Amino acid sequence: MNLPNKLTMLRVLMIPFFVAFMLLGYKWIALVLFVVASLTDLADGKIARRYNLITDFGKFMDPLADKMLVCSAMICLVGANRIWTWVVILIIAREFIISGFRLIAAEKGSVIAASWWGKFKTTFQMIMVIMMIIDVDYKISHSGNALGQAYGILTNVIMFIALALTIISLGDYLIKNWNVMDGQM
């Protein structure tokens, strides 16, 4: 297993620890774990491209690891009343649809890598999660001061950008890969 794939697997292994610290109320430890896990996503891709270490395993597992990390974080944030449930449902529904397409493609012997829209989506989702974890107890955005209110507004703007990118990336993915469904319907 090459270094980028090891970093991907490290990200997967960090998820239960992140979730445990979030659920136990240790938001700063959870935040550090989430940031480190998110940085492994950046690192594994750069290393894989720079040293030509791109593998089918990495094309499949890297986006899956991202989905697992971000979705588990958003579910924790729903429990903390920090993100609306409907936003999380839409985002997770997109991930199920894409995963289904990837499974059908894999059955046909092809692996579909993440698109740039998907990468932007993941980046904005990770930024959104980080901002929401920082303010999980609402001390910043509900402080009553202008800076706190601006932080709350910025967090919501990032959330809606992430949601828009989720929908755009789904459309882009379906259009580009609809041929995967040939003979499936």
For the CA atoms of 177, 178, 184, 185, the dihedral, rounded to the nearest 10 degrees, stands at 160
pLDDT recorded at residue 104: 86
pTM of the model: 0.91
Alpha-carbon span 106 to 37, nearest angstrom: 26
Calculate the alpha carbon distances from 106 to 5, 23, 48, 57, 100 in Å.
18, 35, 21, 11, 10
Model confidence pLDDT, tens digit, residues 87-126: 999 999 999 998 888 888 888 887 777 789 998 999 999 9
Domains in the chain, please, with CATH? 3-181 (1.20.120)
**Residue ranges, the chain, pLDDT below 50:** none
pLDDT recorded at residue 19: 98
pLDDT recorded at residue 78: 97
Burial class of residue 63, CB neighbours in 10 A (0-12, 13-18, 19+): buried
pLDDT recorded at residue 184: 59
Name the percent of the chain lying above pLDDT 90: 67
pLDDT recorded at residue 84: 96
pLDDT recorded at residue 105: 83
pLDDT recorded at residue 97: 92
